[in-house]
Structure 1
Amino acid sequence: MAVLCAGVAGGQQPTVQVRGTVKDAKGAAVTGAAVRLREAAGVDVQAITDGAGRFVLPAVAQGDASVTASARGMEARADVSAAKLVEPMVLVLRPAGNSVGEMEFSDAPKFSVAGVTDWTAVGGHGSDATLRTSESLASATASLPGDGAGAATPDEMKVAAEVREDEDRGEVAKAQERVHAALQAHATANLYRLAGEVDEKGDDPLAAVREFEQAAKLEPSEVNEFEWGSELLVHRAIWQAAAVFEHGAEMYPASVRMQTALGTALFAGARYEQAAERLCKASDLAPEDAEPYEFMGKVELAAPEALACVEPHLARYVRLKPGSSEAHYLYAMALLRRQESAPDAAAVAQAEALLKKAVALDAKCGDGYLELGVLAAQRKDLPTAIGYYSKAIDADPMMADAYYRLAKAYERTGQREKAKEAFAMHDKVTQEQAAATERQRKAVKQFLFAKPGDAPTVATP
């Protein structure tokens, strides 16, 4: 909600009307919270939040003041002045005695999206394998589940239902027209976020990112900041996304997906240790959730070196999810990554046992079969390696590395025709994967940003 400034009349002191929202640590609106504003001059006014967590305090004389909110043993406090009340106020409740008021968006990231360009300007660091992991994690980040948005009005729900019906019929352009018309009639954070979702589907990411940003600034919340950051990340605005997620992680420290998303953005920017720390923190917030483990496991595999906090967390993943093939595979790979700097025969044996458990739990665990083949080849047990490589290909016929290693094993055992066939399949699969990756990258436009003071320019693919 905006804070509206009243004018000065008749020589009276300027006044301001204070509006805002009270939320909990997860970004959910808090209904029935008591909000109180006290001025140094002695003015004391109160309000109660409505069903959307919103409050309005009567106009008071301009000057220094404090705003407090309390509900269910939680509280928040912020020292304010009228001069600062130009951005939405949000008070985030914390346990009483340890409250931190979150009220203005002035500390949020500031940048201007000027246009888009094609995938040839793709951002990121490291090898192509690292880039592919980064792109995969960015897409997965956008799909991370949350606790849902705040309360919507009947009109907003009606528009959303109609938009979804348009999309179900494949009429995305009609859905865009509908939500934009609704925004012109009554601009709200929920409608801006809905417009962002629809415009992204309508291949207009430039409009989408600006709508997600407007939603976050109009009504700061976990869901609005997450959607804004995710849109930036998917379109390879790595450092801008990291800035948004970092701000979101500070505002909503209990948000697992915000920490996970920040870890993803840091990994894309080659901040591997920092990325791992955020993902481990996300896992600590919700040890039963699989997503942080999955993300950290992939980051561990793609990073140049083993990451300190990952191995013990993946060990916990196996303890908590003994029936998970992925848990066993990721922990095994973390153990094997450590061998690069500190060889340990016992750890290798443990990793092999974990890999065997992974393929026993899921016969489609092609990566597990591949690594078992690698371990067998390292022992010079090529017949066993050939068996594992073949099973890896059966599980995933598009596993180029398995074809290559199978071809080398055939070659070393004198099976030249089979080696030739396997090499040919490796080349074919590699070419198909490269073409698929290029198509995917061409479909994702990258954002361009205006420097402070620059006139925005738009470049299109």
Structure 2
Amino acid sequence: MSRFRVNAHQPRYLRTATCLLAVMASLAPSMVHGQSADRMESASLQGLVRDSHDRPVAAAKVYLQTEIGTKTLTAVTDSEGLYHFAALRAGVYILRVEKAGYDAAIFGRCALGGKETKKIDLTLKPAKASAQSGSTGTPEFYDEPQFTVAGVTDTTQLGGHGSDTVVRTREGLARETASLKPLADVSPHTSAATAAEKSLREAAEHEPASFDANYRFGTQLVDEGKAREALPYLDRASQLRPGDYAASYALARAHADAGDYPAARTRLRALQTVQDKAGQEEAELHHLLGDVEEKLGNPLKAVQEYERAAEMSPSEPNLFDWGAELLMHRAMEPAIEVFTKGNHLFPHSVRMLVGLGVSWYARGSYEPAVQRLCEASDLNPDDPSPYLFLGKIQSVEKTQPDALVERLRRFVTLRPENATANYYYAVSLWKGRKGPEDGETLAQVQSLLEKAVHLDPRLGPGHLQLGILYSERRDFSEAISAYQQTIEVNPSLEEAHYRLAQAYRQTGQKLKAQEELRVYDQISKSKAADAERERHEIQQFVYTLRDRPSALQPQ
């Protein structure tokens, strides 16, 4: 068993770099409360937190973080200053300890073997007087943003460039970016995990007056996505120990995960009041409040909470969600600034680069958008997200950079049985063809499209693109068949109706052509109305830029 001892007295730049360094590991999928470790999750980390006089420090927050910052375990030291993380996967970790009135203590690059147990003791130094007197509690490594979100306004004019199709694509990509989740470390549902859940359930049912039994089982249920089932156990734990921060926060999180946002906000605000009176403030509290306020339709409050969370703890999730909130509400320059900062601090985060690329695209800057998305695909070639974003962008843009085509080629090479991969690469080749005489390319395009619709017969855009290919060859009977298949699987795809009308016209079927044009016009107007309604529902941030940061200049 290994033991280390670390002091928090480090140069500022070293503390900054260490705190924000990525670590190559996958954490256990939840806070470690009575989990049963399988063969892959049997390492543990424990230790003692003391002050400069060697006295144990109770109620200190201990964080264990992954390389790209997307998974963080949290523990609180007990009355003897002890902390413990169990059921960890083998890998390399960053350990950080924080408590009000002290400088943070950080131990970077702690390597754990598969079944290894390590002890790491940390010493907290008193915070400098100047830091204690500060009103914001801003970490030394936090850079003030060069923008201020001043309010919200209804969106009537987007002020963007490009066709309505391009604008709608930008809006859709912004929504999809906001829904990107960090790479999850989901362990298989083993018999050991099932036994652990059964054991915790039995303990909670046999000892209903036990805070520990109710809390442990409740938090496990929340981590497993069973928030509504967890509510009675966490409510009981909170009643048994009303002043316990962890129990109160877990109950608020369960309400939020269960979709009861008003109850979650009420509990979070009450908990925030208690923390403020105690001179304590938690980044996770602000972050969850941001989630809840956004769900309740209060984007200005949400972005303020996200910003404060990132200010207190500039982790990957905090920075990403702040940037995504700005992007969702069309604050493009601020979103670019935040995602650029996030990419600098977490260079291995795929979704941070995706967010940066989509922000550039939403701003109307095509080339830097493609560059960032290509970089995202290079970080983890097996992650489909960057390819899907690239594919959607190239579907509505006229030019096809070589880098984009190469990434889509790699996508279909890595996933030859993926219908979407075959379709997007076919479209990229189609747009890069030399003309109708480019028989070799057209044959490859047709082969890819036929494979795509064979793999997924309900892939409407695949059938549509086949129809377009047949139309260029003037094989209108095949084109009509392809367009009809498109409409069969996706009746709301207006372009299929328009192109089918043109094919009918070419074959002398004027009445059918008129009917398809009527349907096309009806769908187009309906989609335009839906898009306009969504634009009104998503309020736009009003913001001011202090100094135009270098991050806003395309690289």
TM above 0.5, yes or no, is yes
Counterpart in the other structure of 1:99: none
Counterpart in the other structure of 2:266: 177
Counterpart in the other structure of 1:209: 303
Q: CA deviation at 1:308?
A: 2.4
Q: CA deviation at 1:305?
A: 1.3
For residue 202 of structure 1, what is the amino acid of its counterpart? Answer: L
- 1: CA distance, partners of 2:469 / 2:527: 26
**Does residue 1:122 correspond to 2:158, yes or no?**
yes
For residue 347 of structure 1, what is the amino acid of its counterpart? Answer: T
Counterpart in the other structure of 1:424: 518
1:386–1:409 contact (8 Å) kept in structure 2: yes
SS in 2 for 1:113: strand
**Does residue 1:296 correspond to 2:390, yes or no?**
yes
Query: Among residues 115, 127, 141, which one is paired with 1:104 in the alignment?
Result: 141
SS in 2 for 1:119: coil
2:15–2:106 contact (8 Å) kept in structure 1: no
**Does residue 1:135 correspond to 2:171, yes or no?**
yes
**Does residue 1:161 correspond to 2:198, yes or no?**
no
Q: CA RMSD in A?
A: 3.7
- 2: CA distance, partners of 1:58 / 1:244: 27
Alpha carbons of 1:413 and 1:33: their partners in 2 closer, same or farther (altered >3 Å)?
Answer: farther
- 1: CA distance, partners of 2:421 / 2:162: 26
SS in 2 for 1:114: strand
**Does residue 1:71 correspond to 2:83, yes or no?**
no
Runs (5+) with no aligned partner, structure 2: 1-11, 28-44, 50-56, 64-73, 75-94, 113-127, 186-218, 224-242, 276-280, 548-555
Query: Among residues 44, 59, 62, which one is paired with 1:50 in the alignment?
Result: 62
**Does residue 1:371 correspond to 2:465, yes or no?**
yes
SS in 2 for 1:258: helix
1:163–1:178 contact (8 Å) kept in structure 2: no
Alpha carbons of 1:348 and 1:22: their partners in 2 closer, same or farther (altered >3 Å)?
Answer: same
For residue 182 of structure 1, what is the amino acid of its counterpart? Answer: L
- 1: CA distance, partners of 2:316 / 2:417: 32
- 1: CA distance, partners of 2:494 / 2:23: 43
- 2: CA distance, partners of 1:265 / 1:241: 6
CA deviations on 1:68-100 (whole Å, 9 max, x unpaired) are 8543379xxxxxxx899678787xxxxxxxxxx
2:320–2:352 contact (8 Å) kept in structure 1: yes
Counterpart in the other structure of 2:19: 22
CA deviations on 1:349-403 (whole Å, 9 max, x unpaired) are 2111111111010111110111111111111111111000000101100010100
- Identity, in percent, stands at 37
Q: CA deviation at 1:110?
A: 2.4
Counterpart in the other structure of 1:348: 442
Runs (5+) with no aligned partner, structure 1: 1-15, 36-46, 61-66, 75-81, 91-102, 454-461
Counterpart in the other structure of 1:113: 149
1:34–1:49 contact (8 Å) kept in structure 2: no
For residue 109 of structure 2, what is the amino acid of its counterpart? Answer: A
- 2: CA distance, partners of 1:73 / 1:167: 33
- 2: CA distance, partners of 1:294 / 1:307: 16
Moved more, 195-204 or 175-184: 175-184
For residue 334 of structure 1, what is the amino acid of its counterpart? Answer: S
1:34–1:69 contact (8 Å) kept in structure 2: no
- 1: CA distance, partners of 2:47 / 2:376: 29
- 2: CA distance, partners of 1:379 / 1:29: 52
Matches within 5 A, 1:10-409: 22-25=19-22, 50-51=62-63, 52=74, 53-55=95-97, 69-72=107-110, 104-106=141-143, 109-122=145-158, 124-147=160-183, 155-156=245-246, 158-165=248-255, 168=258, 171-186=260-275, 187-339=281-433, 344-409=438-503
SS in 2 for 1:220: coil
- 2: CA distance, partners of 1:352 / 1:29: 42
Q: CA deviation at 1:446?
A: 0.4
1:116–1:447 contact (8 Å) kept in structure 2: yes
Q: TM-score, normalised by structure 1?
A: 0.77
Alpha carbons of 1:309 and 1:156: their partners in 2 closer, same or farther (altered >3 Å)?
Answer: farther
Alpha carbons of 1:385 and 1:157: their partners in 2 closer, same or farther (altered >3 Å)?
Answer: farther
For residue 539 of structure 2, what is the amino acid of its counterpart? Answer: K
Counterpart in the other structure of 2:197: none
- 2: CA distance, partners of 1:449 / 1:27: 37
